[in-house]
Every structure is written in structure tokens, then in C-alpha cells.
Amino acid sequence: MIEKVHIPPIKIQGIKTKIVPLIAELERCEEEGTWYEPFMGSGVVGLNLAPKHAVFSDTNPYVIELYKQIKEDKINSYVVREFLEYEGEQLALKDEEHYYYIRDRFNESHNPLDFLFLNRSCFNGMIRFNKNYKFNVPYGHKPQRFAKAYVTKIVNQVRFLENKIRDKDWQFLCQEFSDTIDMAKDNDFIYCDPPYIGRHVDYYDSWDEEHELKLRDRLYTTGAKFILSTWDHNQYRKNEYIDSIWGECYKVTKEHFYHVGAKETNRNSMIEALLMNYNPNETECVEKTGQLSFQDILRKAE
């Protein structure tokens, strides 16, 4: 059981913090198997489940580079504190001028610390790139963003990651999801959190039906167990691809509120779906989680 879910240092839209305990109950990663996460994002799921062997990958090279440098101890909690305290003071003095200075500097040098600074001071914590792969999220207009308490919060998140990585056989790779899935073997486990089809798109995560089909075909040829995160429905519409593409999977659903969007009226609840190519023990799952309100628990998608 996961008693506390730790938040990674990178913020992303649609982070899976609230459903990590449910995923922990459902996953079936063998002790000597390898955990594969081909859409790492912030890495919140795998970093909390902390398998002995893991491969985290993403097509966003800047997230991967930050985590690699933390693993290699090129970046650690002390380095992060010193950096954010200094750049935070400059932001407080120069306001948006300094934000855009850092953004320009990052788009030239791709320093992972600059990326962390931008991720924590940009508008709404977004990660977005233009067609030239330049970070283009505007300033969040909070010159006092890096107050002492906030810096300490980020530093503690980095320290938690350091401690998790230290004794683990973990790799961080920048590559396509298909290359990562192809690495998996029968006794391994794959957790997929792809861009939600019909919802979230940027120049690193352009996603359509062709990608969804490719992902399904790749997953079914590995022989490994997998869990896939996607959206089931909201108050306006349902995800029709669950029936047409993932109809052979077992499904668990849970309501999930996403804090995304500039206006509060755009921040709505959604029914999240976890799709699996295996049938976990229903009684054990319900008894352990103690939550009987999950909709369609272990209902095979029709």
C-alpha cells in the first residue's frame, strides 16, 4: 500500500497523483521484471511504485535530461536550491524581463535547471513548444514565485527523487514509445500514459487514431502485462476509442478532477479509465483499496 504519494519536481498537465494508489493495487510487476514507462511525463507513477528495475522514456528530451542528471548526481537538491534562490531573486527584481531572459537562454542552451525554472514560473505550469520546438509558454506573472517555502518544496521533491534513484537499476531514455515497448519481455510490466486521444496535443505529443492503433498493436505483441491510462467520459462526451480499439481490455474507472485550463469553469471532472490486458483479482482489489465507489470495477469493456 502507498501511504503517501510523492510529487516529482516537474509539473505536467494531467498528472496521475490521485490515481497512483489505485494503479499500485492493480499492477502486477514481477520482482525481477522490469517496469517500462514509455510516456514518462513527470514520472509520478513509477517513481512512487519504485520498482527495482525500470526504464522511463519520453520524447521530450528536456524532462529526460533533467532526470538523467539527477541520477548521475550532476544535479542534486543542493544545486537546485542554489540555482532557484539566485534566479528567484532576479525574477523578483526584474519580473517578466527575467522570465523571458531565462526562456531565451533555455531555448539556446537547453539547460535542465532553466527548464525547471520555467516549468515552475510559466503560465499555469504548462509545458508547450512551438513548431520549431522552442518553449513558448508565457510568463505566469508571479515575481515572488520562488519564495523560500516554495524553493524548499521543490528541493524536497528533488531530494526524494535522489533517494529513490540511488539504489535502483533505472534508465531514462529519450525515444519513441514503440522503441521502449519493444524492449519489454514476458515477465516485464508496462504502464502507458499516452496523450489522451481527442484531447491534449502539442508538438511533442501529437496524437491521433494512427498512434493509438500503433500503441495497441505494440503492446499486444510484447507478451508483457500492461496498464494503460486514458479518459472514459466526461459530462459532454465519451471516449469511443475504448470500445473500437481497446475492446479486449479489462477496465477500471475512477473520477478524476484535472486542474487545467485558464478559467475555473474549464476545469472539470472526468472519468478516468485504466485498461489492462489481464484480469486482476476483483475481491482483493476492492478489499485493499477500501473504495467501493469505483465505477465499472474490473468490467470487461464491451
Residue with cell 528541493: 155
In the chain, which residues have pLDDT < 70?
A: 1, 198-205, 256-268, 281-302
Kindly report the average pLDDT of the chain as a whole number.
Answer: 86
Per-residue pLDDT reduced to its tens digit, 91-144: 999 999 999 999 999 999 999 999 999 999 999 888 899 888 899 999 999 999
**How many CB atoms are located within 10 Å of the residue 278 CB?**
11
Domains, the chain, ranges and CATH? 17-59+175-300 (3.40.50.150), 77-161 (1.10.1020.10)
Burial class (CB in 10 A: 0-12, 13-18, 19+), 279: exposed
Give residue 131's identity as a one-letter amino acid code.
K
Question: pTM for the full model?
Answer: 0.86
- The answer to whether the beta carbons of residues 231 and 272 sit under 8 Å apart is yes
Dist. CA 280–CA 273, nearest whole Å: 15
